[in-house]
């Protein structure tokens, strides 16, 4: 981040780059996690005598909450780092 900041990138541009990169991985992880969670929940629910339907809205709601948490974490950490002096950051590295 310090190098991009020194080269003239604005904080908004840097945050956008980070969000795109992390969400690429995050979306794939959510899809794989949803498939595994659905399969595990389906197997677990077969052990009960009363059957219920497994609604996809539970998974979609959880995904939305997770994406909001990811974006919030990225923005807060990026803002904290962007306020620091980039020269000090480069000295430490």
Give me the number of domains the chain comprises.
1
How many other C-beta atoms lie within 10 A of the C-beta of residue 5? 19
**How far is it, in rounded angstroms, from Cα 68 to Cα 61?**
11
Instruction: Tell me if the pTM is above 0.85.
Output: no
Tens digit of pLDDT at every position of the chain (93 positions): 666 776 777 888 888 888 999 999 999 999 999 999 999 999 999 999 888 888 899 999 999 999 999 999 989 988 887 777 766 666 666
* pLDDT for the residue 92: 66
**How far is it, in rounded angstroms, from Cα 26 to Cα 9?**
25
Note down the domain range covering 31. Answer: 2-92
* pLDDT for the residue 77: 87
* pLDDT for the residue 1: 67
Q: Are 38 and 28 in contact (CB under 8 A)?
A: no
The DSSP line for 72-83 is HHHHHHHHHHHT
* pLDDT for the residue 17: 86
* pLDDT for the residue 39: 95
Both tokens assigned to 12:
């908004």
């Amino acid at each position: 981040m310090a190098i991009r900041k020194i080269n003239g990138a604005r904080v908004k541009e840097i945050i956008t780059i980070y969000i795109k990169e992390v969400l690429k991985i995050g979306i794939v992880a959510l899809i794989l996690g949803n498939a595994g969670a659905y399969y595990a929940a389906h197997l677990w629910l077969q052990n009960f005598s009363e059957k219920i339907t497994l609604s996809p809205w539970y998974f979609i709601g959880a995904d939305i909450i997770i994406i909001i948490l990811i974006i919030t974490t990225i923005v807060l950490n990026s803002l904290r780092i962007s306020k620091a002096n980039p020269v000090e950051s480069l000295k430490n590295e």
